Amino acid sequence: MCKDDNTIKELIIGRRVGFYKVRGEIGCGTFSRVKLAFHALTKDKVALKILDKTRLDTQAQRLLSREISSMEFLRHPNVVLLYEVVETPSRLHLVLEYAGGGDLHNRICNEGKLSDTTSKITFAQILSAIKYMHNINIIHRDLKAENVLFTSSGCVKVADFGFSTRVSNRNKVLDTFCGSPPYAAPELFQDECYLGPPVDVWAMGVLLFFMVTGTMPFRADTMGKLRRSIIEANYIVPPWLPGPCQRLIKGILKTIPAERYAVDQILGCDWLLPVEFPWSLVAPEPTGLLEGHHRADDRLYCLPCKSAES
Ligand code: ATP
């Protein structure tokens, strides 16, 4: 292909990156543009996150290197996969698994709260992804609805590992304020140090509240008021929510991290009981891009069965 005039021309004008044929833009971040691309041989769709190396300041370089080093470890059906990184003299290209079904934030803003069943299916997939990350000592630290993407078939893919960190063990104390304030745990506003897993769990509580009610638990017109309402856990669980869901929200949104539900308690909660919830444990979808790679433990992975989605 290197001798093919057309391929060379496409490489020069940025219509091709390595084996990937680049198509239209699907999003943009602070330092990146994200484009749809196709693998020239397998035809698999990917999301190509393009970063201009000359525009990355020290902070952006640090976030990017965190994103890449965490994602290199992550292989789970509910986590966006990093297939490879392609570097050219001026640009870095993160070749990511494509999630073409939009994000949870837009879905709720456009269509309103999710039904109880859809909330369970969505929340259980996020939970499965977070359990897996914590098991391998990766803390996400920026869980929010904008970072929960869907594939076109409705499968959840947790994305955006720029604030993530790999810890030597889950009891490692952290000290950097990360993430989006409405999803931030109280200890992030109050304490100099915090433990990673409870911070992700709190953000899952905020996500759960947002999914089942269509509103955020903590809202305020100034940062000071938002901070106060989070520290005081000043939120109201609507009485019309099913009891098991109310109990789960209250178990997660506890201000003292040691009293907050742990991931395994959430997994065993009444709201996610299999009797109420038609789930199947299925093997991850095969993709040509991943042939030869092995997932860590297929038994942990939950994907929604088709009947539950329809
Ligand atoms: P920032 O850089 O400001 O934190 P961000 O993290 O949202 O923003 P990106 O990760 O660069 O930025 O993503 C920008 C947008 O591109 C996302 O909001 C999403 O719409 C889209 N996008 C990112 N990754 C994917 C993906 N794997 N599949 C489909 N769309 C994606």
- The CATH 1.10.510.10 portion of the chain extends over 104-281
Ligand 1: residue whose CA is nearest its atom 19: 27
Task: Give me 66's structure tokens.
Answer: 């965190």
| CA of residue 268 to ligand 1 center, whole Å | 32
Mutate to test the pocket of ligand 1, among 143, 160, 178, 183 (most ligand atoms within 8 A of CB): 160
| Tens-digit pLDDT string for the chain (310 aa) | 667 777 766 776 677 788 899 988 998 888 889 999 999 889 899 999 999 988 888 888 888 888 899 999 899 999 999 999 998 888 899 999 999 999 999 999 999 999 999 999 999 999 999 999 999 999 999 999 999 999 999 999 999 998 999 888 878 888 788 889 999 999 999 878 988 999 999 999 999 999 999 999 999 999 999 999 999 999 999 999 999 999 999 999 999 999 999 999 999 899 998 534 434 434 444 444 544 333 333 333 444 433 333 2
Q: Which atom of ligand 1 is nearest to the CA of 34?
A: 16
Topology given in CATH for the domain delimited by 17-97: Phosphorylase Kinase; domain 1 (3.30.200)
So what's the pLDDT on residue 302?
43
**Beta strands 45-52 and 91-97, pairing class:** antiparallel
Q: Is residue 49 a known part of a binding site?
A: yes
Q: Which residue's CA is the nearest one to ligand 1's atom 21?
A: 27
Which residues 6+ apart lie within 8 Å of 277 measured at CB? 117, 120, 121, 124, 308
What pLDDT score was predicted for residue 288? 47
Residue nearest to atom 27 of ligand 1 (CA): 98
Atom 10 (ligand 1) nearest CA: 160
What whole-number distance in Å separates Cα of residue 209 and Cα of residue 220?
16
State which ligand 1 atom lies nearest to the alpha carbon of 33. 11
Nearest CA to ligand 1 atom 2: 29
Ligand 1 center to 48 CA (angstroms)? 10
Which residues line ligand 1 at a C-beta cut-off of 6 Å? 26-32, 34, 47, 49, 80, 96-99, 149, 159-160, 162
Q: 1.20.58.340, 3.30.2350.10, 1.10.510.10, 2.60.120.260: which CATH number matches 104-281?
A: 1.10.510.10
In the chain, residues under CATH classification 3.30.200.20 are: 17-97
What is the C-alpha separation between 148 and 143, in angstroms, rounded? 8
Q: Which residue's CA lies nearest to atom 4 of ligand 1?
A: 29
Ligand 1 atom with least separation from CA of 31: 2
Whole-number Å distance, alpha carbon 157 to ligand 1 midpoint, is 12
- Residues forming the active site: 142
What's the gap in Å between 112 CA and the centre of ligand 1?
Answer: 22
Please give the distance, rounded to the nearest whole angstrom, from the Cα atom of residue 103 to the centre of ligand 1.
Answer: 10
Q: Please state the atom number of ligand 1 nearest to the C-alpha of residue 100.
A: 29
Distances (CA, A) of 137 to 140, 197, 298: 10, 9, 18
Q: What's the gap in Å between 210 CA and the centre of ligand 1?
A: 20
Residue 289 CA to residue 296 CA, distance in Å, equals: 17
Here the tokens at position 210 are 């947002």
Testing ligand 1's pocket by substitution, the residue of 31, 32, 34 carrying the most ligand atoms inside 8 A of its CB is 34
HEC assignment per residue over 263-307? HHHHHCCHHHCHHHCCEECCCCCCCHHHCCCCCCCHHHCCEECHH
